[in-house]
Structure 1
Amino acid sequence: MQLPTSSLSASTRPQKGHLTAYIRRLLKPKQWDLEYTFWLMMQLCFSPKTAYRHTAYHKQTKNQWARDDPAFIVVCCALVACASLAYCVTFGDTVWHTLMTVLSAVLVDFLVLGVAVATACWLYAFDVHCNSYFPLFLLLYVLQFLLCPVLLWRSYLSSALSNALYVIALSVYHYMNFLGYGSLPFLERTEVFLWPIGVMLLLLPFAVLSGFNPSIFTLSVYFG
């Protein structure tokens, strides 16, 4: 989806210099700012507006919207890999399938999806995806894993709880996208990022009444 904008000429120019510096820093773990990364993760969970106010400060001090520190992505990849491994151990996968599932979760579900949705100011757009993905990860990887004994029952209650969990997680993801792109002064009509929330709320009663359980569906896709 092309982002609505009034003027993207300055913001969509190739950022090869930023990308090169980013990759160089990725290869130098001693330069990662892990303290800021964990602070940001906490803010994304409890005060996302504070996190994006800090983005404006970053633009003023470093003259770029995107983060220049890869620590957040590295930590997210590690967390996604650990959570995926926990699912694989719990549901008894083979070593080969475990490896493929972990790689798929990190490379496809997290990284490739982020690159795919990144459009204007793509480095910053990828940051927005990563920021939005972290709360979703906590809900659909961690919390869902802990609630699996309840969510995997074949009952309307389990279906309702599972649907509610997915709607909340995906709504948080889209709301965080809205906050992230809303921080860019040259973008207009960023409220379009909130539209999927309304669609999901409309579909929620039908999903529950039909007995559809997204937790069972998702785990069946990954683990047969």
Structure 2
Amino acid sequence: MKYSTSPTPSRSNSSLLGMSSRTTSPLPPPASYRTDCMSATNKSYKYLRRFVKFDQMDFEYALWQMLYLFIAPKKVYRNFNYRKQTKSQFARDDPAFLVLLVGCLCVTSIGFAWVLSLGIGQSILFLLYVVFVDCILCGMIVATMLWVVSNRYLREQISDMDVEWGYAFDVHLNAFFPPLVLLHFIQLFFYHPLISHEWFISTFIGNTIWLAALGYYIYITFLGYNVVPGLRNTRIILVALPLVFFFYVVTIIMRWNLSVSLMYFYHYRVL
């Protein structure tokens, strides 16, 4: 290479050099720019392979997401848009969030086992149910249903970019975390001294926690699909909110304590 001894480049060469410098711009490419469109199988393999590489997981960023899912969930989905621009996919390529979520389930399951007076074997069975059935299996079912509905009925044009199944599952995990903290952690501190009684205030507090948990799940799910370009009428997801509130009012009138029912369900499921 003899660039240092060559004469001043001509006008055409300067244009070529300018084009070359623009191609190495540090700015993120637009959303339509796709340099490494991997198949769903390759994306899944890359995601699963990182489960055994803890040193490559960004746990600090995952903790930041968990915090902001409570105080400002829109900021979390703004970062999903950044991932689409830089990595050509909405779905997470880092399983750190799921690992931390499972860790939270393990911790809260110990609290549940203590509240329900479960033995060691029952506690392990309870943990397996919560992680693999309540979180992962039910999440896969919900994610698949919303994935089909969004791609089949909410897309503006048939040629628009479709919603990734992995992203639909990520939306479920995001929406699952606040209800997990409310129902599996905060509620435990009030269950025996207050919620487990037959008082009206017990039913009111227990069912209000349920209302907040379901409200979080629906709203965060709506935000997840609302940020995807090409989807329309995503506000239909919010229709579930007044239905949940109506159900909440009915349970208050009937004096049906949902928290106590949840405890009975969890207890008899592991017997």
Secondary structure of residue in 2 paired with 1:118:
helix
**2:206 pairs with 1:181:** no
In the alignment, what sits opposite 1:6? none
| Alpha-carbon distance, 1:14 to partner | 5.7
| Alpha-carbon distance, 1:223 to partner | 1.2
Query: 29, 32, 55: which one pairs with 2:80?
Result: 55
Alpha-carbon displacement from aligned partner over 1:13-48 (angstroms, at most 9, x marks no partner): 961111010011112111110111111111111110
Quote the Cα distance in structure 2 between the aligned partners of 1:134 and 1:18.
24
Number of residue pairs matched by the alignment = 212
In the alignment, what sits opposite 1:64? 89
Q: Percent identity?
A: 33
Q: Is the 8 A contact 1:136 1:172 kept in 2?
A: yes
**2:163 pairs with 1:138:** no
| Alpha-carbon distance, 1:147 to partner | 1.4
Quote the Cα distance in structure 1 between the aligned partners of 2:105 and 2:236.
28
Query: 90, 111, 131: which one pairs with 1:86?
Result: 111
In the alignment, what sits opposite 1:205? 249
Query: 152, 155, 158: which one pairs with 2:196?
Result: 152
| Alpha-carbon distance, 1:200 to partner | 1.2
Secondary structure of residue in 2 paired with 1:55:
helix
In the alignment, what sits opposite 1:196? 240
Secondary structure of residue in 1 paired with 2:110:
helix
Larger Rg: 2
Q: Is the 8 A contact 1:37 1:71 kept in 2?
A: yes
Quote the Cα distance in structure 2 between the aligned partners of 1:180 and 1:164.
24
The structure, 1 or 2, with the larger RCO (C-alpha pairs under 8 Å, 6+ apart) is: 1
Q: Is the 8 A contact 1:132 1:174 kept in 2?
A: yes
Alpha-carbon displacement from aligned partner over 1:44-92 (angstroms, at most 9, x marks no partner): 1111001111110110010000010001001101101110121102321
Quote the Cα distance in structure 1 between the aligned partners of 2:39 and 2:240.
30
| Alpha-carbon distance, 1:186 to partner | 2.1
Secondary structure of residue in 2 paired with 1:92:
coil
| Alpha-carbon distance, 1:195 to partner | 1.5
Q: Is the 8 A contact 1:174 1:193 kept in 2?
A: yes
In the alignment, what sits opposite 2:206? 162
TM-score normalised by the chain length of structure 2: 0.76
TM-score normalised by the chain length of structure 1: 0.91
Q: Is the 8 A contact 2:116 2:263 kept in 1?
A: no
Quote the Cα distance in structure 2 between the aligned partners of 1:113 and 1:203.
21
CA RMSD of aligned residues (A): 1.3
Which moves more between the two structures, 87-96 or 100-109? 87-96
Quote the Cα distance in structure 1 between the aligned partners of 2:238 and 2:227.
15
Which moves more between the two structures, 60-69 or 93-102? 93-102
